[in-house]
Amino acid sequence: MTKVLAIETSCDETAASVVSNKKGIYTINSNVVASQIKDHSKWGGVVPELAARKHLELIHFVISEAIEVADVNYQEIDVIASTVAPGLVGSLRIGSVAARTLCAFYSKPFLGIHHLEGHLSSILFSENPPKPPFIVLLVSGGHTELIKVGERREMERLGRSYDDAAGEAFDKVGRLLGLSYPGGPAIEKAAKEGDSFKFDLPKCKISDKKGGFLKYDFSFSGLKTAVLRLTEKINKNNVTLPIEDIAASFERVVAEVLVERSINCVIDNDLLDLVVVGGVAANNTLRKMMISEAAKKSIRVHLAPLYLCTDNAAMIGAAALSRLNMGDYESSLKLGVSARLPIDEALSLYHKIPPF
């Protein structure tokens, strides 16, 4: 059995987890998450400096609790891993320094993990995780990407958002409607009482140089602007803002865009499995629509467990275990952190000469 202590501090959750792998079965021994939502909600979004300070305050207690809940000691831990990219640099640095310090003190190997690889690895804790190759729709507050995962976990980004990620659009539209932060859960709650076809909102596309459109890419900035113009028009006429109807219409359009382009990507790559992960993957409308539409095309949909959709350290541990299962992966203790790193460059985190 291999045991990993994993740390995640890429944004506004301070998280630590102990996970293990025995004969290909991934198990969560502990998964501690200290959320900062209350600290950032009054600002309507994450304040990077505040996030880093909170991580510094919480990191020791979160790691200690993860070790205690898992009922292990550091001698029983085989590897220590942390998120090193992408994310908020100040936040990433807290978790990375903590992990590398523990590695040096206890003479343990260190694995730097790509945050998006962590998200797509969350599916390994589901009952019947798919075997690659497959397509992953990673949809969160900071990222909306379509990724092809090969048999050796080679990762190729096939589609991405050119402006707002889907989760970011939920937050911004939530603010426009006067809803609480984060916007995703607030919009989903309001949408339950609304008419999803009340307003015809645009499904924005990205033009290519040949005069057509990029099939797997996303743009949600125009949709957000359309909601802004709609609310301005309604307010100008002194009519009560139909928050529930706008929320439902917005949620439907986002789900339709994500579903249509994801399914087309699976079909065009002649694959049968689609994995959906990330914070927005917890949205019930998206989950139901994805399963329904994929079934019409004989595509198998694999949804991340709801409790692992948002940022957590168990998914980082799963990514580390998966790397260890494939070979002798180890990161340099000199590896730093980076705000940006494409998913298809994740292998650089294990080079003898670190990329940053």
Residue 93 has pLDDT above 90, yes or no: yes
Do residue 117 and residue 200 come from a single domain?
no
Nearest to 274 by CA among 130, 164, 89, 170: 130
**Residue 196 structural domain:** 132-303
pLDDT of the residue at 152 = 84
Do residue 97 and residue 186 come from a single domain?
no
Mean pLDDT score across all residues of the chain: 95
Phi and psi (nearest 5°) for 15? -135, 145
pLDDT per position as a tens digit, 8-45: 999 999 999 999 999 889 999 999 999 888 888 888 88
How remote is the C-alpha of 171 from its chain's centroid? 15
Take residue 119 and report the two structure tokens written for it: 């998200």
Q: Beta-carbon neighbour count of residue 76 at 10 Å?
A: 14
Does a structural domain hold residue 72?
Answer: yes
Does a structural domain hold residue 126?
Answer: no
- The residue type of 61 is F
- The DSSP 8-state label assigned to residue 123 in this structure reads G
Residue 14, beta-bridge partner list: 34
Do residue 60 and residue 7 come from a single domain?
yes
CA distance 61 to 69: 12
Do residue 210 and residue 314 come from a single domain?
no
Q: CA-CA distances (angstroms) from residue 42 to 38, 243, 315?
A: 7, 20, 28
pLDDT of the residue at 269 = 98
Q: What percent of the chain has pLDDT over 90?
A: 89
Q: Are 326 and 153 in contact (CB under 8 A)?
A: yes
Number of separate helices (H) and strands (E) present in the chain: 10, 10
Q: Are 66 and 16 in contact (CB under 8 A)?
A: yes
End residue of a domain, out of 303, 320, 337: 303
Mean pLDDT along residues 164-183: 94
pLDDT of the residue at 210 = 80
CA distance 354 to 340: 15
CA end-to-end span of the chain? 32
Do residue 166 and residue 182 come from a single domain?
yes
Residue 79, beta-bridge partner list: 4
Does a structural domain hold residue 319?
Answer: yes
CA distance 273 to 294: 10
pLDDT per position as a tens digit, 253-284: 999 999 999 999 999 999 999 999 999 999 99
pLDDT per position as a tens digit, 217-251: 999 999 999 999 999 999 998 889 999 999 999 99
Looking at residue 271, which CATH number applies to its domain? Answer: 3.30.420.40
Do residue 289 and residue 323 come from a single domain?
no
**C-alpha radius of gyration, the chain, whole number:** 20
Do residue 86 and residue 140 come from a single domain?
no
Do residue 209 and residue 331 come from a single domain?
no
Does a structural domain hold residue 355?
Answer: no
pLDDT of the residue at 331 = 98
pLDDT of the residue at 37 = 81
Do residue 82 and residue 47 come from a single domain?
yes
Does a structural domain hold residue 270?
Answer: yes
Does a structural domain hold residue 356?
Answer: no
Q: In terms of DSSP bridges, do strands 134-139 and 273-277 run parallel, antiparallel, or are they unpaired?
A: parallel
Do residue 137 and residue 232 come from a single domain?
yes
Does a structural domain hold residue 26?
Answer: yes
pLDDT of the residue at 220 = 96
Q: CA-CA distances (angstroms) from residue 146 to 164, 262, 287, 346?
A: 15, 7, 16, 15
- How many structural domains comprise the chain? 2
- The residue type of 26 is Y
Residue 127 has pLDDT above 90, yes or no: no
Do residue 180 and residue 265 come from a single domain?
yes
